[in-house]
Amino acid sequence: MKEHIDTIPVNDAFDSGDECPFCWLERKAEQSTIRYVAGPGASYMEPDVRAATDAAGFCGVHLEKLYDYGNTLGSALMLQTHMAGLLTEFRAGAEGFTPPVKHGIFGKKNSEPQETWWQRLHKRQERCFICERREYHMTRYFHTFFVMLREPEFREKVAASKGFCLRHFAKLMDLAETELPNSQHEWFYSTVLSLTEENLLRVKKDLDWLIAKYDYRNAGADWKNSRDALPRTMQKIQGLHPADPPYKEK
């Protein structure tokens, strides 16, 4: 199968041995975005990047990851202009604010309540530059994955993988109907369903043995593959890597 710039990361993900190749891709996309906005290239100094981070801001999870990354000045500069925009919007709403009047049971009520300024402010808080950029990359990876399934060699690689976490399994099932030709539906659904169940069962057995090892009667028994069963189970359920150390600036 001939590789090009779009297929290389997807192939790397399925060669990684990760419990879910799409978790692997998602982590890489997230880390590359953190490095892009706060890394040594100083993208946060570019006007277009600063405008984008000012508009979208960052969710709580990614604010913490920016803090962990370690570029204090870069993160502070990004948040300085973002905070200034939030403060301007807050002041504009607060200056014209009058407390609402509570109507009695026979009072006139608006049939369509208008969105308040603090609700609009809250909507801004629900956006995140890193989340949005990560999802952009993931959309491309999912599309590339379905294109690559046309190749028998890649289908063999998928069938030999450790399956998918439940979050990315659901995403694949949602996309398959529109992304795959009818001729590939039978292979895809039978392979992905059996592959996912088989590997969920494998991880559950490891988790069961991890629990059993805490019984004094099994103190001298081999750990088998259970030492990291807890983080792998968490990944299979929610698609995350809980054992990862914080991603830091090098």
> Is there a contact between 229 and 206 (Cβ–Cβ < 8 Å)?
yes
Predicted pLDDT of residue 195: 97
Weakest mean pLDDT among 20-29, 86-95, 111-120: 111-120
Average pLDDT over residues 153-181: 96
Identify the band that residue 239 occupies on the pLDDT scale cut at 50, 70 and 90.
very high
Asked if the model's pLDDT at residue 109 lies above 80, the reply is no
Distance spanning both ends of the chain, measured CA to CA? 35
Average pLDDT over residues 210-221: 96
Q: DSSP string of the chain?
A: ----TTHHHHHHHHHTT-S-HHHHHHHHHHHHHHHHHHSTT-GGGSHHHHHHHHHH---HHHHHHHHHH--HHHHHHHHHHHHHHHHHHHHHHHHT--PPPPP-TTS---SSPPPPHHHHHHHHHT--HHHHHHHHHHHHHHHHHHHHTTSHHHHHHHHTS----HHHHHHHHHHHHHHS-GGGHHHHHHHHHHHHHHHHHHHHHHHHHHHHTTSGGGTTS--TT-TTHHHHHHHHHHS--TTPPPP---
How many CB atoms are closer than 10 A to CB 243?
11
Predicted pLDDT of residue 112: 65
Predicted pLDDT of residue 117: 78
Higher pLDDT, 235 or 6: 235
Q: Which two tokens stand for residue 189?
A: 């659904």
Asked if the model's pLDDT at residue 106 lies above 60, the reply is no
Residue bearing tokens 């392979």? 191
Whole-number CA gyration radius for the chain: 24
pLDDT digits (tens, 9 = 90+) for 136-160: 999 999 999 999 999 999 999 999 9
Q: DSSP string of 4-22?
A: -TTHHHHHHHHHTT-S-HH
Predicted pLDDT of residue 188: 97
Identify the band that residue 116 occupies on the pLDDT scale cut at 50, 70 and 90.
confident
Q: What is the mean pLDDT of the chain?
A: 91
Weakest mean pLDDT among 82-86, 158-162, 170-174: 82-86
Predicted pLDDT of residue 44: 79
> Is there a contact between 156 and 184 (Cβ–Cβ < 8 Å)?
no
Total residue length of the chain: 250
Asked if the model's pLDDT at residue 128 lies above 60, the reply is yes
> Is there a contact between 240 and 230 (Cβ–Cβ < 8 Å)?
no
Higher pLDDT, 216 or 86: 216
Predicted pLDDT of residue 104: 61
